[in-house]
Amino acid sequence: MNGLILCCIASLIVVSYGSDAPCTNAGGHCQDDHLACHNGHYQSGMCSGGTHRRCCLTSASHTGSFSSGIVSQHCLQCICNVESGCKAIGCHFDVNSDSCGYFQIKEGYWHDCGSPGTSWRSCANDLACASKCVQAYMSRYINFSGCSHSCESYARIHNGGPAGCKHTNTLGYWSHIQSQGCHHNSK
């Protein structure tokens, strides 16, 4: 019996600590740090294996600008600040599923925005791709919702789905957006 318990604990440790998921969830890939990390930098503690196996995070996931579209750059900045401090923070479990990256995009949202980039997680952790997804999502749903073309509507749809601008449960989120300096018609 003690041997079985020890075996199960050892298996749990390997499953818990032997994963590359923290790196891949942040949009990176694990590799030996003697290899070049093209257009990026290495971060320790995100990959299984030895000390020289580290996460290569591309610069594109940390710098750049927002994609253009119907949502103003200022409004996108406010949403990005509220969602992640405008950083590629990887994925976190939130309301029954993972939310990832700069705008904390869920997989369904990514599909609804046209599935840009190579994958949901990598797109969400790349500022240009994630903001392109937000722009496409808003273009798809703003007329469906019957709400005005305003920062308030975009923020509330981002938080509450296609008709989020009509739901009172998104008003608190809008208050957080306003605290970042955005207003109803922020340009």
Distance CA 17, CA 47 (A): 9
Q: How many residues does the chain have?
A: 187
CA distance 187 to 179: 16
152 is catalytic: no
Selecting among 20, 32, 33, 83, the annotated active-site residue is 83
Q: Measured on CA atoms in the order 156, 158, 159, 164, is the torsion positive or negative?
A: positive
For residue 107, indicate whether it is catalytic.
no
Handedness of CA 40, 135, 73, 75 (dihedral sign): negative
Could you say which of 20, 32, 94, 98 is catalytic? 94
Task: Report the DSSP beta bridge partners of residue 58.
Answer: 40
Which residue in this structure is represented by tokens 């019957």?
Answer: 146
Q: Which residues are catalytic?
A: 83, 94
